[in-house]
Amino acid sequence: MEEVVRLTPPINKGQIERLSAGDKILVDGFIYTARDMAHKRLVDSLPDLPFPLEGQIIYYTGPTPPRPGYPIGSCGPTTSLRVDIYTLPLLAAGLVGTIGKGSRGLAVIEAIKKYGSIYLVAIGGAGAFLSKKVLASELVAYPDLGCEAIFRLKVKDFPCYVGIDSRGNDILQVSSFEGIERERTLVIIKPDGVSSRLVGEIIKRFEAEGFDIVEVKMVHLDQESAGHFYQVHQDKPFYQGFVAFMSSGPCVVMVLEGEGAIKRVREIIGHTDPKKAAWGTIRRDFATDIRYNIVHGSDSPATAKAERDFFFGPDQRV
């Protein structure tokens, strides 16, 4: 049977040190709920908090109202990246654990290492199942926030996994998986990314995910080269305007290498239309328009090779 570790807050640093990314956890006892609005208030009120943080766990959830006779409604985890900016001061103030969904930013991973904390991931989309693990719920603070108020939940056998351990090992990073090949892909920081001074931010995100820069240069494409590079789109209605945009100013072009680089880089970049891109992706965070969407990434092994040759091969065009 799979080994399970039980945690009952308050948790001490010795218990945390023994945990490793991927361990299965069952939480018993009391945990606190908070989403982004409650986090903002907590951080604004530091150091006078409505409950003691020392050794405690905050669960990122906004429970739905309970049905009669039940302590809580559905209580699935929400996306952790949304509270990243508030997590640092709370870890510094003694919070030990957080439970949420999805990856965390580099600054939070560094803070988890610095303060010897732990990030747990709960099962997304399983809010009704998780609610059965809640025996009681008590309002602690900010009742005007409704379901986003802070509640103290009494839980039993609340299931989660260690997403990031106190040494910074992260099960949500693709580099933790075995059997994924190292690949090279081409990334272009488009003229809007360069003029918005996002070059450093974008490179930082790729490096934080474990990718190496193996080639990099700045180029100002003329209309002909931009048109040639994107010739697969020549029959599309947006082509002329897009080519004009791509040749409107300098780009930073680079070859990135890492595990599963082609697919993973496009995941980090996000959907072509920033409005449809997932939270925490480059396009969601910095772009507003389907044309001016900051970054390009190759979409297959064949295009990755052709695009690398276009900029860096022996017969490079620019």
Binding site for ligand ATP (CB under 6 A): 233, 238, 242, 272, 290-291, 293, 296-297, 299
Determine the residue type at 256. Answer: L
Residues 6 or more apart from 110 whose CB is under 8 A from it?
168
Specify whether 220 is catalytic: no
Closest distance of CB 210 from ligand ATP, Å? 21
Give the nearer residue to ligand ATP in terms of CB position, either 58 or 265: 265
In whole angstroms, what is the distance from residue 204 CA to residue 316 CA?
A: 27
Closest distance of CB 14 from ligand ATP, Å? 47
In whole angstroms, what is the distance from residue 225 CA to residue 250 CA?
A: 13
CA neighbor of 266 nearest in space, from 185, 212, 207, 189: 185
Closest distance of CB 63 from ligand ATP, Å? 37
Give the nearer residue to ligand ATP in terms of CB position, either 264 or 296: 296
Strand order in the sheet with 295-297: 212-219, 251-259, 182-189, 295-297
Give the nearer residue to ligand ATP in terms of CB position, either 20 or 272: 272
Give the bridge partners for 118, in sequence order: 97
Closest distance of CB 271 from ligand ATP, Å? 7
What is the bridge-based pairing of β-strands 150-164 and 118-121? antiparallel
Give the nearer residue to ligand ATP in terms of CB position, either 70 or 238: 238
Q: Annotated catalytic sites, by residue?
A: 296
